[in-house]
């Protein structure tokens, strides 16, 4: 009788495991989750966000069946600091990796490893520069050029392996599209005509070189979109599409002057789309204000996994259930070393943007790949012509204001700095106070000696390491969430 009981217990446990996991989790309780991250793509360079020229039918299809977020802001308009915030749920200065290409420390928690501990198969494919410690969060990693020029070539194989694992899976699919240098023009079939199929942002001049530059950028976005379509097709063929959450987003704004490395919307506001047929009954657009630090906790919440205490972000699962709900009152962001010395901090509400610049003596023409672009060269040549608008001249301006304040209702492009406008004295004082509180509570610091470039005798620059923001206050062990 005892033996029969034990056999019965084992059979019941196996049946439970099959129900909870199962191949690709077709009937399980936990959804498969795929996070697709585009590289250097502005929110308004995706079709469903109002761009009528760019060809993104597969991303647009996800939006038409899911929820589109119109106010998702990353924590930094710089690739790796933005991604480290996604991975840890922490602000850049709290990760120890506030500067470009800095590795994350071992003591932090990475949300995929919590999914892994909860029974998920986890994998990363594509771009990876968050440091060697993060490898522990994945059962499989496919990084480097074996993923093709756009970083997507092994996505299908990784999906096949995840499906075969018999467990619910989480995939971090990180594209190199649309990071410079361009590579999609000659080897991909979704091409854009420079004269007819690009939209010229107000930060750029619409001459022939700029149009060609933008068309190449659009071609990279088109290549990424085609792989999004392949992922959806494979999930459908495996009959697990309805049991899979697909999230599409980007890490920061377009790699053009006035966008990437900027703390205005054109640098920080990114596309964010959630497709989740099991929970999202009909398409919707939400105006809820959300931050990159909230993405990891939300994904954990989708899988019914508790976040780590060191995560500063919060889950916005409630917004997915009811898109009309509000979420944050403030989002915070920072700009540190990205090829050039920088210390900027910003707080954004739905109505206003306040920016503090600790290095106003420098311009912000962007990262090196931006400064070496044809579009930058076109603007530079026209500097003395009188043909440039204030917004087009701005990347070359120095010194810059130490404080900036923008009013969304009358200046959505964030061109007119109202910091000296007495009409907004109360709002400016309030956001200045909120930003300082965030810095104080989260352990942010403004070191006297930051990482900076030094000219080489033969030309070019070398990087001289300075003190990391937050280091003197041990910010990597500070778990305070700050104002919300």
Q: What is the pLDDT of residues 65-124, one digit of tens each?
A: 999 999 999 999 999 999 999 999 999 999 999 999 999 999 999 999 999 999 999 999
pLDDT digit string (tens) for 306-331? 999 999 999 999 999 999 999 999 99
Integer Cα distance of 379 and 201 in angstroms: 13
Q: What is the pLDDT at residue 18?
A: 37
Beta-carbon contacts of 4 under 8 Å, excluding residues fewer than 6 positions away, are: none
Buried b (16+ CB within 10 A) or exposed e, 30-66: bbbbbbbbbbbbbbbbbbbbebebbbbebbbbbbeeb
Query: Model-level pTM?
Result: 0.93
pLDDT digit string (tens) for 254-271? 999 999 999 999 999 999
Question: Is the separation of the CB atoms in 115 and 88 below 8 Å?
Answer: no
Integer Cα distance of 442 and 272 in angstroms: 26
pLDDT tier at 145, thresholds 50, 70, 90: low
Percent share of the chain, pLDDT over 70: 93
Integer Cα distance of 112 and 162 in angstroms: 14
Percent share of the chain, pLDDT over 90: 88
C-alpha angle with apex 219: 72 to 44, nearest 5 degrees?
25
Residue 201 vs residues 259, 266, 289, 319, 375: alpha-carbon distances, Å: 10, 10, 24, 31, 11
Integer Cα distance of 427 and 218 in angstroms: 38
Question: Is the separation of the CB atoms in 20 and 30 below 8 Å?
Answer: yes
Average pLDDT over residues 353-380: 97
CA 416 to centroid of chain Cα atoms? 26
pLDDT tier at 6, thresholds 50, 70, 90: very low
pLDDT digit string (tens) for 165-177? 999 999 999 999 9
Burial of residue 431 (CB within 10 Å: 0-12, 13-18, 19+) is buried
Which of 132-146, 312-326, 369-383, 391-405 is predicted with the least confidence, judged by mean pLDDT? 132-146
Q: What is the pLDDT at residue 72?
A: 99
φ, ψ for residue 27, nearest 5 deg: -125, 10
pLDDT tier at 23, thresholds 50, 70, 90: low
- The overall average pLDDT reported for the chain is 93
Torsion of CA 363, 366, 368, 374, to 10 degrees: -110
Please, what are the domains in the chain? 24-329 (3.40.720.10), 333-367+398-477 (3.30.1120.10)
Q: What is the pLDDT at residue 104?
A: 98
């Amino acid at each position: 009788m005892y033996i029969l009981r034990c056999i019965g217990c084992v059979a019941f446990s196996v049946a439970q495991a099959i129900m909870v996991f199962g191949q690709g989790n077709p009937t399980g309780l936990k959804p498969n989750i795929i996070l697709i991250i585009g590289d250097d793509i502005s929110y308004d360079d995706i079709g469903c966000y109002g761009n009528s020229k760019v060809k993104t039918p597969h991303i647009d299809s996800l939006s038409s069946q899911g929820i589109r977020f119109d106010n998702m802001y990353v924590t930094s308009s710089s690739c790796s600091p933005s991604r480290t915030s996604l991975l840890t749920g922490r602000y850049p200065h709290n990760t120890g990796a506030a500067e470009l290409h800095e590795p994350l420390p071992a003591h932090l928690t990475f949300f995929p490893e919590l999914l892994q501990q909860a029974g998920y198969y986890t994998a990363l494919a594509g771009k990876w520069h968050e440091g060697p410690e993060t490898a522990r969060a994945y059962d499989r990693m496919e990084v480097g050029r074996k993923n093709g020029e756009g970083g997507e070539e092994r996505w299908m194989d990784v999906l096949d392996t995840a499906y075969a694992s018999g467990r619910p899976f989480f995939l971090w699919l990180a594209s190199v599209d649309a990071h410079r240098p361009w590579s999609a023009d000659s080897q991909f079939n979704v091409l854009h005509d420079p004269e007819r199929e690009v939209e010229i942002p107000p930060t750029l001049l619409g001459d022939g070189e700029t149009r060609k530059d933008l068309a190449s950028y659009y071609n990279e976005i088109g290549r990424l979109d085609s792989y999004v379509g392949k992922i959806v097709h494979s999930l459908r063929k495996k009959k697990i599409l309805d049991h899979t959450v697909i999230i599409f987003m980007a890490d920061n704004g377009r790699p053009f002057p006035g966008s990437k490395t900027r703390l205005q919307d054109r640098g920080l506001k990114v596309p964010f789309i959630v497709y989740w047929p099991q929970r999202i009954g009909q398409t919707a657009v939400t105006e809820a204000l959300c931050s990159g630090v909230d993405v990891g906790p939300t994904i954990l919440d989708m899988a019914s996994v508790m976040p780590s205490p060191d995560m500063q972000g919060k889950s916005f699962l409630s917004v997915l259930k009811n898109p009309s709900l509000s979420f944050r009152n403030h989002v915070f962001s920072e700009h540190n070393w990205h090829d050039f010395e920088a210390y900027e901090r910003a707080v954004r509400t739905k109505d206003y943007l306040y920016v503090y610049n600790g290095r106003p003596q420098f311009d912000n023409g962007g990262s090196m790949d931006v400064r070496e672009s044809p579009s930058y060269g076109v603007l530079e040549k026209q500097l003395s012509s009188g043909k440039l608008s204030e917004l087009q001249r701005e990347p070359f301006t120095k010194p810059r204001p130490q404080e900036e304040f923008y009013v969304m209702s009358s200046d959505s492009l964030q061109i007119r700095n109202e910091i000296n406008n007495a009409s907004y004295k109360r709002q400016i004082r309030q956001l200045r106070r909120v930003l300082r509180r965030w810095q104080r509570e989260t352990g942010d610091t403004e070191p006297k000696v930051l990482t900076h470039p030094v000219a080489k005798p033969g030309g070019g620059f070398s990087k001289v390491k300075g003190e990391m923001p937050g280091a003197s206050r041990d910010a990597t062990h500070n778990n305070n969430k700050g104002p919300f």
